[in-house]
Amino acid sequence: MRFHHVVIAFMAYSFKAEGSLICESDFCVCHHNNKSDREVFGEIVECSYDPILLKRNLSLPETAYTLNLSRNSLVDVEFSLALKSDTLTELFLNSNKIKNISPNAFRLPNLKRLDLSDNQLEVIREGTFDRIQKLEYLNLANNRFNTFEKITFHHLSYLVEIVLDNNDLGPSLENNNLFDRSGYGLTHKIQSLSISGINLDTVHENFFVDAFDLRRLTISNNSLISTFVFPFTLEYLDLSDNLITEISEEDFTELLALKELKLNNLLIKDVPGFAFASLHSLAHLELERNQFLVNFSATAFGQEVLDDPVDFMLETLSLKGSRLTSLDKRLEVPFGQLIRLDLQGNFWNCDCNLKWIQKLQIHPDLYDHIRCYTPKPLYNSRVFELDEKYFTCTKVHRSHRVMVTISIISFCLLLSSLAVWVYMFLPRNHTRCDFANVYSGASYTVLPVHVSTVRDPL
């Protein structure tokens, strides 16, 4: 009993003694941010390896700007003086084991960025964001949310960026809308939404109708089988790692502001003509690891850019790791304008049609894996190291094939005339011996004719 009291007294004392300022704690480091590139005034407080940090009730310095509480194995987030500040702007609670956040835990009226990723949250209760209403960025990736109705975004009218990756939210979004006007959803001010790996297989027609200002959309690593109506305000779109089998001109017609497009690891077989022709702002395009992609249309970027690339804004293009065998020579002009072009890891057929790509200004770092797949003698040769005399569409090759065909046809003719001959003469009751005589006699007269047809093309 006594011992208990002593322990409690000691604990109370130690909490109080460490008490006042978080910067005096053994687990925390405080320093000023004086980097000139950021308009940041205030202290950065970093604490690690202290699971009972919030229970210690330590207070923040008066002008705290950033509080980093990641990697402390925190489970519950309850109110503590460490979560009360008028100046704190960034709070990192990522990579803990947080299961529960008390609705009144945060008293941070100027907080702009909150990172809660890599935790074990299933619910965000109503009221949680009531005293952090200036929030602009919220990261909830890698938690255990499985219905978006359990995340109450209520009141976050300044929120512009949200990350919800790798939560099993897809099924609950099939009929619902993240931009729900009844109050729980995101406001129409959202500019950046990341919903990668949420197990989403369809995007219903009205999903983005209330997203008036969406500029960045990451919807990669889902099970989408087709494209959908993209908000026309987009500047960045990542559709990678989905089961999309086809892209077409119509998909991207409205996206006049789109600057960056990622179409990696899809099931598309071809990039059709005019697919990207209406993307007049597109500067970066990735089409990597498309294991079925065999055709890239010469007019993928439209017809005009083939002669006059004045309107061709693309700066970087990656076609890495696909199954292309050739590229149309007409792409020489627009591709010549690119700052970076990655053609590595394709199944290039090094014949006369591919010779032109040696003229492209490709960065030497991107040479190594541009290799011939066919013809066989050139297999695995580096395209940019190969003498241009090897890029042939050989006549020898073709005449050889013609010759073989003619020989086969002649041989068949010979066989069939023999068959006809046998058919005509056998029923006439010749003796076996006679037949043999006739056969041997005729064969000498017939054979040379056929031999000469075989030899002719030689």
Our CA angle for 453, 456, 457, nearest 5°, is 120
Q: In this structure, what DSSP letter does residue 401 have?
A: H
Is residue 89 at the binding interface for ligand NAG, with CB under 6 A as the rule? no
Q: What is the SS3 assignment for 316? A: strand
Over the window 68 to 87, marking each residue x when it contacts ligand NAG by CB under 6 A and - when it does not, the resulting string is x-xx---------x------
Count of residues binding ligand NAG (CB under 6 A)? Answer: 18
Q: 152 and 125 in contact (C-beta within 8 Å)?
A: yes
- The rounded distance, in Å, linking the Cα atoms of 221 and 201 is 10
The phi and psi torsions of 114 (rounded to 5 degrees) equal -130, 120
Nearer to ligand NAG, 71 or 340 (CB): 71
Q: Min. distance of Cβ 360 from ligand NAG in angstroms?
A: 22
Is residue 330 at the binding interface for ligand NAG, with CB under 6 A as the rule? no
Q: 170 and 145 in contact (C-beta within 8 Å)?
A: no
- Cα 114 from chain centre: 26
Is residue 227 at the binding interface for ligand NAG, with CB under 6 A as the rule? no
Is residue 242 at the binding interface for ligand NAG, with CB under 6 A as the rule? no
Q: In this structure, what DSSP letter does residue 305 have?
A: G
Q: Min. distance of Cβ 63 from ligand NAG in angstroms?
A: 14
Nearer to ligand NAG, 36 or 175 (CB): 36
Q: 94 and 139 in contact (C-beta within 8 Å)?
A: yes
Is residue 269 at the binding interface for ligand NAG, with CB under 6 A as the rule? yes
What number of helices (H) and strands (E) belong to the chain? Answer: 5, 20
Nearer to ligand NAG, 25 or 68 (CB): 68
Out of 27, 29, 57, 73, name the contact with ligand NAG by CB under 6 A. Answer: 57
Residue pointed to by tokens 């970076």? 340
Our CA angle for 61, 67, 73, nearest 5°, is 125
- In sequence order, the β-bridge partners of residue 113 are 90, 137
Window of 66-74, 299-307, 425-433, 446-454 that interacts with ligand NAG by CB under 6 A: 66-74
Calculate the dihedral angle through the C-alpha atoms of 180, 183, 188, 190, rounding to the nearest 10 degrees: -100
Q: Min. distance of Cβ 57 from ligand NAG in angstroms?
A: 4
Is residue 34 at the binding interface for ligand NAG, with CB under 6 A as the rule? yes
Out of 260, 270, 328, 332, name the contact with ligand NAG by CB under 6 A. Answer: 270
Closest CA to 202 of 179, 221, 181, 228: 228
Window of 2-10, 63-71, 132-140, 277-285 that interacts with ligand NAG by CB under 6 A: 63-71
Nearer to ligand NAG, 87 or 325 (CB): 325
Closest CA to 384 of 402, 401, 372: 372
Is residue 391 at the binding interface for ligand NAG, with CB under 6 A as the rule? no
Residues 164-203 that bind ligand NAG (CB under 6 A): 166, 197, 199
Q: What is the SS3 assignment for 340? A: strand
Q: Min. distance of Cβ 317 from ligand NAG in angstroms?
A: 19
Q: 203 and 179 in contact (C-beta within 8 Å)?
A: no
- Work out the angle between the directed axes of helices 432-455 and 395-425 (0-180°, nearest 10): 160
Nearer to ligand NAG, 75 or 454 (CB): 75
Is residue 48 at the binding interface for ligand NAG, with CB under 6 A as the rule? yes
Q: Which residue is nearest to ligand NAG (CB)?
A: 197
Nearer to ligand NAG, 74 or 255 (CB): 74
Q: Min. distance of Cβ 166 from ligand NAG in angstroms?
A: 6
Q: 214 and 190 in contact (C-beta within 8 Å)?
A: yes
Q: List interacting residues with ligand NAG (CB under 6 A).
A: 32, 34, 46, 48, 57, 68, 70-71, 81, 92, 166, 197, 199, 221, 269-270, 294-295
